[in-house]
Structure 1
Amino acid sequence: MKRITVAIPVLASLAAFILILLALLAGQNPGYMEDYDILKLNTSALGKNLLSNALADDDEPTPTQSGGPDSICSDLPSFLGKACGSATSAVAGVQSDIIDKIDDINNDIADRLADRLGIHEFYSLHVLTICNGEFEPNATASEWKNVTSCRKGLNGYGYNVSESLDMELKAGPFKITLADLGFTQSLQEQLDDVAKYTKALAILFIVTATLVGLSFLTSLLAIFLIPGRRESAARKVNLLTSALAVILLLVSSILVTVAVSMAVDKINEAGDDIGLSATRGSKYLVITWVATGLFLVLVFGFWLVQTWRWRKGGAKRNFPRGGKAWYGGEKRVRDSEETAGTGPRGSHGGGSRWSRRR
């Protein structure tokens, strides 16, 4: 094994370690790599069902509205009928303008629901932290996110967004609960599952980062080892550490891709009526899969090929043509042929000369 080729897994494992480290450090401080979240919950419209229910009675048509202008003016004489129709059309136009203005007001209120309820407009889950804040300039035109605070996810109630929301609602001006907003048991379970997935992913990534860093160190040490038995041991150690690291990387990537995607779909389905939505972090997925692919091909693949070539080359050396072992085998065969039937080593010289004379 040429030492220069060992630079391939060294550089690749270093790059994978840096990517995993970035994924772990995302969200450590407000605004730091905020876009690299696992999942984001949009709570800016949470409670819109309360507004819809309050205005539901106002949208019901009155008995005079249900029949329309034709039913009211049809029995009047022609002149009075035309006048009645013009008047009802004018009233209908004014009513339409009023409804449009009410809709604009409702949209403005919906944009400020989170502020009125005393909660944040979004909650973003990272590997080790959970952050919250408000959309700027507003929830409907969220050009950027103003992160106000971040907390450790593995401490206290950690990634449990529902518990955090419930605490903020109870401390808010209306002193309400999630149940008052229409949270169902199914939605509550989905948010609890997200907290479990994120905690499991955090533990997996910490262990994976440790193994990837260890693989980098063992690959680096392999450059300075003298060829021989130590080189063989270095291959085995690097193959073992890279195999464990790539398994955990694959498990972590699949977990964050499949499990979180399923959770996002279920949250959006169950939370649509009450104004709760979720989105999956795309940038986090990119760096996760890049680190996995890089490590799988250039680190684990390298040591797997090197081990296979070493075993294949060793088999050829140990069993050359004729099936004789290489470990000093040819030398032992020559010695045995020369000393066959010649007695002790001290007297074999004359015997061999006598044999050549004859």
Structure 2
Amino acid sequence: MATQRQPSVGLLLPPVLISFVAFVLALIALLAGTGPQQESLEPYHIIAVNLSNFGHDLVASPTKSDPKPSSTSGSSLFDEIADGARGLGQDISDGVNNITDGIADKVIEELGISQWYSLHILTFCEGMFAPNASDPDAWFNLTSCTAPQPARRLNLSDVLDHEIQAGPLHKNLNQLPIPESVQNAIDIVNNALLALLAFYALASGLAGLSFLLSLAVLVLLRNNVNKLIVWTNMAVAGLGAFMFLIASAMISYVNNKGVEEINNAGKDIGISGIKGVRLIKISWATFGLMSFVSLYWGLATLKYTQRWVSIGDGFRRREKVLA
């Protein structure tokens, strides 16, 4: 009887590595906003509320006007003087606008509030944009995060009221009203937090279990791989992929719907939403990785099924000959 060939190390290594990467990405999504890596993982928020323009209407800003183009060919001395005057006027206007923007940025600081507030699965964080909010390459400079708490919700009105009253201007939200519709928009994310936590906790656990099972096959069971082992790995990876699919779809929905509603509700008072693009990307990437692991073990199951079918056919042909 010929000895059954067992899978090589090279063939069993991909599910180990891929499930490990999926597990790490899942932990990033689940634990962002917690622990010692809060600042480095801050961009992996579900959604952020941008308040860098909040309160800017307290400072009147001059209207910017576009300079009219002028032709230099065949122009008279009067035209050149007029063009120079227009250019000088525009320079003065730009300078005043820059000063006004600086004053408006100072308003946020004087109000005692942060320029952004972000929602994670377990916490919400706040901070300032660095080097400043108007910089196109600005990054999230973290100030603080709340303690991890599954049921924690971001109530923007309460947070701002507390911070503004504690600030040097000693104002309150009666003087700087925030429409209820802004909080209603934020609640789109708040209402999804517990469900996201449940799905991500399950998905992370399944990704970790898939890694351990794949590692066990590679290290301990390589010479004893059977159909039950392969089916177990496929089921765990497949269920993990399904959980990531639901979680990724939820994150994509609350990002699109939440940001749209926040922008519509807060456009008149300088409040806008920021999508958690990085979280969306790693969430769908994790779904893809776990799907690959499940497909890998599914193909292995097919291989064993075909082998056992061929063995069964052999027995039937043998019985037919003997008959």
Q: Under a length normalisation based on structure 2, what TM-score does the superposition of the two structures give?
A: 0.76
Deviations 1:167-210 (A, max 9, x none): 32343433312x64342232221112222223432332122111
Distance 1:166-1:201 versus aligned 2 partners, 3 A rule: farther
1:6 aligns with 2:1: no
Matched residues in 1 for 2:21 and 2:261: separation? 35
Tell me what 1:301 maps to: 295
1:254 aligns with 2:259: no
Deviation per CA, 1:128-166: give whole Å up to 9, x if none.
332211123332236333311112352564444443223
Give the deviation of 1:127 after TM superposition: 3.1
Q: Counterpart of 2:121 in structure 1: which amino acid?
A: V
The residue number in structure 2 matching 1:341 is none
Q: Are 2:160 and 1:176 equivalent residues in the alignment? A: no
Match of 1:215 among 207, 210, 234: 210
Q: How many angstroms apart in 1 are the aligned matches of 2:122 and 2:306?
A: 45
Matched, 1:273 2:279: no
Report if aligned partners of 2:122, 2:150 keep a CA contact under 8 Å in 1. Answer: no
Of residues 95, 112, 116, the one that matches 1:118 is 112
Aligned residue for 2:226, secondary structure, equals helix
Aligned length: 290
Corresponding residue of 1:139:
133
Query: Shift in Å at residue 22 of structure 1?
Result: 2.5
Q: How does 1:25-104 map to 2 (within 5 A)?
A: 25-28=31-34, 29=36, 30-51=38-59, 103-104=97-98
Contact 1:225 1:231 in 2 (8 A): no
Greater gyration radius: 1
Equivalent pairs: percent with the same residue?
33
2:78 maps to which residue?
none
- Give, in whole Å, the separation in 2 of the partners of 1:104 and 1:11: 52
Distance 2:176 2:148 in 1: 25
Distance 1:98-1:3 versus aligned 2 partners, 3 A rule:
closer
| Aligned equivalents of 2:15, 2:281: Cα separation in 1 | 21
Note the C-alpha offset of 1:271.
0.7
Unaligned segments of structure 1, at least 5 residues: 60-94, 338-358
Are the equivalent residues in 2 in contact too, given 1:17–1:212 (CA < 8 A)? yes
- Contact 2:29-2:279 within 8 A present in 1 as well: yes
Name the structure 2 match of 1:69: none
The range that moved more, 153-162 or 128-137, is: 153-162
Aligned partners of 1:97, 1:287: CA distance in 2, in Å? 45
Whole-Å separation in 1 of the counterparts to 2:312 and 2:90: 94
Q: Cα distance 1:236–1:155, how it changes in 2: closer, same or farther (>3 A)?
A: closer
Match of residue 189, structure 1, among 144, 159, 184: 184
Retained in 1: the 8 A contact 2:114–2:127?
yes
**d(CA) in 1 for partners of 2:158 and 2:191?**
14
Q: Hey, what does 1:313 align to over in structure 2?
A: 307
RMSD: 3.3
Residues 7, 222 of structure 2: 8 Å contact kept:
no
Which residue does the alignment assign to 2:74? Answer: none
Q: Name which of structure 1's ranges 245-254 and 121-130 shifts more when overlaid on structure 2.
A: 121-130
Match of 2:316 in 1: 325
TM-score, normalised on structure 1? Answer: 0.70
